[in-house]
Structure 1
Amino acid sequence: MAQLGGGPVVGGAETRLVRIEREMNDHGAMTVRVVQTGELRTVVEYESPRLRERLEDARNGTEMPLRIAPAPGRGNSWVVLRS
């Protein structure tokens, strides 16, 4: 189980090819679509400030592999662990 900000991240991490559907907003959230399934996921947390900064520059339509896991207690929200 990975750690994020001192707290545990729920299991279920997976690497998926995603496409940016909505660029990161002022609150740090962004929407990605899993290319293989079409599923939309809202990313709300990042493993490190450096990873968040890199994803801030990602534009709509950009495809990239991301390692993501469900955010504990946040519904359909996800944490990016690494890319």
Structure 2
Amino acid sequence: CYLFLDDLHLLTDARIACFLCHLANRLPENVHIIAAGRDRFLPESEIVRLGSRLHRIEAEQLRLTREELSAYTARCGLSLTDAQ
């Protein structure tokens, strides 16, 4: 079971991160939380505490390289110049 929580950057109360970490530490192995947001919301201490149960995807991992973007736009039938 996966719980997907999106737009966590909209929740400004710092207690949300603590709640999610406490929840993650108490969930059964077959339940996972996927938390998405624009900003980092977990304090370093919670990242350490979650250990191997935490898997992060950073913005750099989602960013397309020039070659990947070129291949993607070509598949969509578009052509872009280097400047675009």
Which range, TM-score by smaller chain?
A: under 0.3
Q: What TM-score do the two structures reach when normalised by structure 1? A: 0.23
**Larger relative strand fraction:** 1
Q: TM-score, normalised by structure 2?
A: 0.23
Q: Larger Rg: 1 or 2?
A: 2
